Structure 1
Amino acid sequence: MNEKLQNIFQQQTIMIIDGSMSTALEQRGADLNDRLWTARVLAEKPDLIRQVHKAYFQAGADCGITASYQATIPGLIDAGYTEAQAEDILARSVRLFCEARAEWWAEEGQADRRPWPLCLAAVGPYGAYLADGSEYRGNYGISDETLQSFHRRRMEVLWEAGPDLLLIETVPSLREAMLCADLAEELGADYWISFSCRDQAHINEGDLIEECARKLSIGHPRLQMLGVNCTDPRYITGLIHELRKGTDLPIAVYPNSGDRYDPTTKTWKRLGTEKAFGTFALSYMKAGATAVGGCCTTVEPHIRQITEARRKFLNAE
């Protein structure tokens, strides 16, 4: 296991992942009505990104996800940046995280004896680049060569920037997950893979998540964790049980707050759930998740709820 990841598990037992970058940026006045989404803020208002990272550390996060989910080299070039500028924006996402981490650590983290947070460099799926909701469907209709070319250089740039792990997230497709895993292995990068799921057993393209876990657990020695994100919180407990059937790797989950995304309007519809987010989080820990956080529409109060859920979980053991 990655030594830094292992240290957090030894100190905290359950690792707390941060929350949504997009929702937190919107709360700070950012306009995300753009094909680049959070990558536009990364390029033009980097201090807002730094603020969000620090806020999540203050809320209790033991690790955080860089603002590179929507930052792709083709997408940035399409938006008018040069290739060199696009690569610098990608690397900037890691630098901003590291700057925020160092500031928070000096201000309070070290004194509070908190673990040094892990930097997870976000690698979003090809569907995020399309900006049409394809990360919730998969079935892109492109060749393996095109998909590999899309991911390779971005993963290289992010890894060279110095994160602790690559986080290949919101993946709707086993094919894409396997391809990205192979690229990470070639890079010598430690990584984890997180799927987006349609129900309690299937990823969004339709494969059983148990089978995805089984296939990825073979021949990928640098794979550190498997999990689920950007998925209805009501599905997560079942998905943890299915993942556990296929792997002995640690399981990480960070669902949405319960709202549903409309790819046509590019908005989230508030549905509401019968449980508080912290109650969901506690159930995930009881089901066997070793890392818990939040994805779209979750913010600092959700992470504080997870922190409290961990306290309850550990006190009950």
Structure 2
Amino acid sequence: MADPLFPSASATADAARRAAVATAGLQALFAQRIAVLDGAMGSMIQTFGLDEAAYRGTRFADHSHDLRGDNDLLCLTRPDLIEQIHRDYFAAGADLVETNTFNATRISQADYRLESIVTDLNTAAVAVARRAALAAEAATPGRRCFVAGAIGPLNRTLSLSPDVNRPDFRAVTWDDVVAAYTEQIRALLTAGVDALLVETIFDTLNAKAALFAIESVFDAAGFRVPVMISVTITDASGRTLSGQTIDAFFHSIAHARPFSVGVNCALGGAAMRPYVEELARLAPCYVTCYPNAGLPNAFGGYDETPDQMAAILGEFAASGLVNLVGGCCGSTPDHIRAIAATVRAHAPRQVPPQSPALRLSGLEALTLA
């Protein structure tokens, strides 16, 4: 029997009821109109110019390792700052915000020697995002705001060797990755997220480990929340870093019965269009797109203006390709405000039926009808 997530049967029942209400709310939102996700967290944090002391706070003042750059840690040491970013995105028109947990796994936090606080990080991140959601709902009676638990791709990969001289070598094992994701997902679900978002996927095998962990945690909890999946296409080759085409990627993760699938990060919106169009054609679920604010410039910044980004995503919306839009690296509340205003005039993509077929995937897809 799976380990229980909650201390009692009544606590489990309460969590299941909250999850059911949130799921119904998300279903209603996506059926009614194009939903809006928040924008970047990392590049917004950078605008504050935080020093080492700000990352450490009081709790980690004597920590043995440098902590500057561990953005997830700010949920514990500067929750006021993270909550304000969430609030700004809700005020700009976002329906969902992602928790500040992109690197809140044991594997990623090992870079800072903070493996032991993973549960604290994820729990605090959900609480911070939920406070912002409740404040936005209170400011506009009748509005519903959602919190998606962000699950990043890790800084280790299962499909590729980090050593060009040893192509068989892997820095982590499948069991390592599943265990790391399981710890994070348990914390996110018990803290009360409305959905789980596996995002910025560059290695499908890492994503499959995350999806395996999600199903295991759902089994232990006795209930589900919507699972959203978002891949990153790394360059003009049209493939993930581990080599898959967009349709092969979808075949690889379709067994997870995703609430949505989409593309984020790496590219600007204009370069994403063919991949979003392909997902819109074949996916029997909702389709999402949250691009960078253009490609990074020579100084690591992003030059696409809110109006430019909104025009690109507005065209996706007008063409019936998307059910949710938002922003990734370089996007700000101003970008989200412009995007939300632009897509408001367009109906959401209609989810197509899927005919029975044998759908296989390697680096490319094979469909046998």
Instruction: State if a TM-score over 0.5 links the two structures.
Output: yes
Q: Summarize the Cα distance change of 1:77–1:290 in structure 2 as closer, same or farther, 3 Å threshold.
A: same
In structure 1, the partner of 2:140 is: 109
**Any unmatched runs of 5+ in structure 1?**
none
Q: Summarize the Cα distance change of 1:216–1:55 in structure 2 as closer, same or farther, 3 Å threshold.
A: same
The question of 1:175 aligning with 2:209 is answered no
Q: Is the 8 A contact 1:252 1:289 kept in 2?
A: yes
What is the alpha-carbon root mean square deviation over aligned residues? 2.8
**Any unmatched runs of 5+ in structure 2?**
1-19, 56-65, 163-169, 219-223, 349-369
Corresponding letter in the other structure for 1:193: I
In structure 1, the partner of 2:324 is: 291
Q: Summarize the Cα distance change of 1:162–1:15 in structure 2 as closer, same or farther, 3 Å threshold.
A: same
The question of 1:18 aligning with 2:38 is answered yes
Q: Is the 8 A contact 1:210 1:245 kept in 2?
A: no
Instruction: For residues 222-274 of structure 1, give each alpha carbon's deviation from its aligned partner in whole angstroms, at most 9, with x where no partner exists.
Output: x2111111131222211112223442110111111013389xxxx7244659x
Q: Summarize the Cα distance change of 1:78–1:215 in structure 2 as closer, same or farther, 3 Å threshold.
A: closer
Bigger Cα displacement from structure 2, 198-207 vs 179-188: 198-207
| 2-structure distance, mates of 1:205, 1:166 | 23
SS in 2 for 1:227: strand
Q: Summarize the Cα distance change of 1:143–1:245 in structure 2 as closer, same or farther, 3 Å threshold.
A: farther
Corresponding letter in the other structure for 1:47: D
Aligned residues: 296
In structure 2, the partner of 1:118 is: 146
Instruction: For residues 287-309 of structure 1, give each alpha carbon's deviation from its aligned partner in whole angstroms, at most 9, with x where no partner exists.
Output: 51100000111001100111121
TM-score when normalising by structure 2: 0.72
Displaced runs of 4 or more, over 4 A: 31-36, 137-140, 269-273
Offset, 1:78:
5.2
Q: Is the 8 A contact 1:139 1:205 kept in 2?
A: no
Corresponding letter in the other structure for 1:225: S
The question of 1:227 aligning with 2:262 is answered yes
| 1-structure distance, mates of 2:196, 2:71 | 18
| 2-structure distance, mates of 1:50, 1:161 | 16
Equivalent residue in structure 2 for 1:239, among 257, 269, 275? 275
Offset, 1:280:
1.0
Instruction: For residues 130-167 of structure 1, give each alpha carbon's deviation from its aligned partner in whole angstroms, at most 9, with x where no partner exists.
Output: 6xxx79x9666333222222222111111111101111
| 2-structure distance, mates of 1:89, 1:297 | 24
Q: Summarize the Cα distance change of 1:138–1:124 in structure 2 as closer, same or farther, 3 Å threshold.
A: farther
| 1-structure distance, mates of 2:75, 2:278 | 36
Identity %: 24
Q: Summarize the Cα distance change of 1:72–1:178 in structure 2 as closer, same or farther, 3 Å threshold.
A: closer
Corresponding letter in the other structure for 1:302: H
TM-score when normalising by structure 1: 0.83
Trace 1:126-275 onto structure 2 (pairs within 5 A).
126-127=154-155, 141=170, 142-188=172-218, 189=224, 190-199=226-235, 201-217=238-254, 219-221=255-257, 223-232=258-267, 233-260=269-296, 268-270=300-302
| 2-structure distance, mates of 1:255, 1:234 | 9
Q: Summarize the Cα distance change of 1:301–1:271 in structure 2 as closer, same or farther, 3 Å threshold.
A: closer
In structure 1, the partner of 2:50 is: 30
